[in-house]
Chain A
Amino acid sequence: MTALIAIRELAKSFGPVPALADVSLDIRENEFFALLGPSGCGKTTLLRILAGFEMPDRGSVTLDGKDLVAIPANRRPVNMMFQSYALFPHMTVAGNVSYGLEMEGVKGPELARRVRDALAMVQLEPVAGRKPHLLSGGQRQRVALARALVKRPRLLLLDEPLAALDKKLREQMRIELKRIQHDTGITFLVVTHDQEEALVMADRIALMDRGAVAQLGSPRELYDRPATRFVAGFIGMSNVLEGRATAGGVAVAGLGALPATGEGIAPGAPVSLTIRPERVRLVAGGGGQVAGKITGIAYLGQDLLLQIGLPGRADPLVARLASGHPLADGLREGMAVSCDWAAADARMLTE
């Protein structure tokens, strides 16, 4: 796959605060790419630079090898779906969708056909003649999507596309967006603060923190092999134990040597051990590497979340196990339990 968008050492500050600090990344042709991060991490600034609403202070952005920054916003082959949807309130649904094509000089039967096709793609033909204020939130969202897609951009930017929808609709639309991206073959770049949304939809995720890319990779890579403590904490839930690297793991004060893996870390270096709750195994009858007392049990339907208090530590170890686990029925608060994990499931992180 070739790079559609190449971003190199892009920097932008608002006053003394750097919003983007030398960001470099490639977005490939035909991929569903997510910019993920907490608010203020610079993801929206990057999106607005790609749309042409902000100018970078330094760095370059190319699209198909051509300088994108020099092209004014209204002539870029890039369209955006706004977080507020930004529908034109005085135009009908069809009017909103045809606006962008009219700007390109598309007329007559071709205009009508393309508007119809775009509305059909998002199942909105029955409401083509309505004004936006008569539509539901979900319908408005789909008008905004059709309006941006009808121009067949090289890159579609989606700013928190699902944030304004209720939970059930949001889950449906994740699948729907994925389908539309697949059917149209247009490269999607979605900005979101919702890690679950990014994990479900994206082919690749750039997780951003304070204006820089903390980690770039597939959802699996980010989840299974977080590069920093920030990544481990932002994507999903992680237990973190501080200690010093040893030959086969981490020596944690009060708990002894615990198994973990990490590449190129010198023994004795200060490290954090991170372990996902679902990788923590309960060991029947004691004999695990870590022993503690259950301080809380949360029933989540499919799964149980256990808080295990460890001697001399304020934060409990969180373990997630299936409700059907053989030990699940006997668990009570205050019970002594023992657990362990495979060395491959625990990561040693230096940052």
Chain B
Amino acid sequence: MTDHPVARLQSRGTRRWLKGHAALVYLFLYGPIAMLAVLSFNDSGLPTSWGGFSFRWYGELLRNPAILHSVANSLVVAFFVTLIATAGGTLLALGLEQGRPSTALDSFVMVPMIIPDIVLAIALLSFYTTLQFTLGLYSIVLSQSVFVMAFAAAVVRTRLRNFDRSILEASVDLGADGWTTFWRVTLPAILPGVIAAALLSFTLSIDDFVIAYFSAGAGRSSTTFPMQIYAMIRFGVTPTINAIATILVLVSVTLMLTAQRLAREAQP
């Protein structure tokens, strides 16, 4: 790596400076997360004193019905959002890649990814109000699906781009109809992209606060996990929240590594 042409163009001082900068970024990014994980095992519950290693706060978590209820809500919402957004996003990607290239259509699909969440949240809320739609978990599913689908479509489209279209013609040439071709050739060929889209959809849904908050309605019954944390944090950061956060980090890192590994294995 030392003989990389760009590295050679940089002076020793510049390189040292960049390294220092990188170290600071990593420290700022991972320092608090590491601290949070350590504190979640702190028996004393105080950030200032170490009271010994314990799973106490994790136990507390399991005995808190409000938290468990919100986790259940989030999982149900994420399940349906993953289903809808992955299926819808895949079809969207297939349609866009098959049709005539259109910048206008492309941009319209990107819009939910670009416009601020808060704007989308308010727009959807007033839309539901106009329709006199009762709010609840299903309205959260609907709202999240709108923006998550755009991300899912983008992920599947990158897979479709280096996809040899002649295999679809080959399938038809060998006697398959459109339906069989989709299930036996198209879908298996883009499956790694579809799975990556599903994992991303799940993560985005679990993570979303703003859109869920505006679509949930007034009742406490449709409180999702991030909304529950937000409610709890108003009374200060409790050790229980550290425990929840640690679990969240663990789950999302596992999902991300799985997605990356799937994508790598699928590469020829």
Contact = CB atoms under 8 A, between A and B. Distances in A.
A267 B133 CA distance: 93
Interface string A60-89: 000000000000011100111011101111
A51 B173 CA distance: 7
A47 to B, nearest CB: 12
A88 B184 CA distance: 10
B175 A86 contact: no
Nearest to B175: A103
A233 interface: no
Interface string A70-114: 000111001110111011111000000001100110000000000
Contact of A74 (B166, B173, B191, B268): B173
A74 B172 CA distance: 5
Nearest to A76: B173
A88 B188 CA distance: 9
A84 B166 contact: yes
Contacts of A133: 268
A51 B169 CA distance: 10
Contact of B172 (A73, A83, A88, A104): A73
A151 B170 contact: no
A100 B189 CA distance: 17
A147 interface: yes
A74 B171 CA distance: 8
A53 B167 CA distance: 13
A78 B170 CA distance: 12
A17 B135 CA distance: 57
Interface in B148-192: 164, 166-167, 169-177, 180, 184-185, 188-189, 191
Contact of B176 (A78, A87, A103): A103
Given A84-B164, A86-B164, A53 B169 contact: yes
A75 B175 contact: yes
Contacts of A90: 188-189, 191
Interface string B99-128: 000000000000000000000000000000
A99 B167 CA distance: 12
A74 B168 CA distance: 11
Contact of B173 (A79, A84, A87): A79
Nearest to B166: A86
Nearest to A80: B173
B224 to A, nearest CB: 37
A86 B171 CA distance: 9
Interface residues of A, number: 27
Contact of A89 (B169, B175, B177, B189): B189
B191 to A, nearest CB: 8
Say what secondary structure dominates the interface of chain B.
helix
Contacts, number: 66
A88 B176 contact: no
Given A99-B171, A147-B174, A151-B175, A82 B166 contact: yes
Contacts of B171: 88, 99
B156 to A, nearest CB: 16
Nearest to A132: B268
Contacts of A74: 172-177
Nearest to B170: A86
A99 B185 CA distance: 10
A151 B268 contact: no
Contacts of A99: 171, 174, 176, 184
Q: Which of B164, B170, B268 has the most CB of A within 10 A?
A: B170
Nearest to B185: A88
A148 B169 CA distance: 13
Contact of B189 (A52, A73, A88): A88
A341 B166 CA distance: 50
Q: Which of B164, B174, B184, B191 has the most CB of A within 10 A?
A: B174
A87 B268 CA distance: 13
Contacts of B184: 99
A53 B189 CA distance: 21
A87 B174 CA distance: 12
B53 to A, nearest CB: 48
A99 B172 CA distance: 11
B167 A88 contact: yes
A53 B171 CA distance: 12
Closest A-B pairs by Cβ, 8 of them: A103-B175, A133-B268, A100-B174, A86-B170, A86-B166, A90-B188, A86-B167, A74-B172
10 contacts: A51-B173, A74-B173, A79-B174, A80-B173, A86-B169, A86-B170, A88-B170, A100-B174, A132-B268, A151-B175
Interface of A: 51-53, 73-75, 78-80, 82-84, 86-90, 99-100, 103-104, 131-133, 147-148, 151
Given A74-B175, A90-B191, 10 more contacts: A73-B169, A74-B177, A79-B174, A80-B173, A84-B166, A87-B170, A88-B167, A89-B167, A89-B268, A103-B176
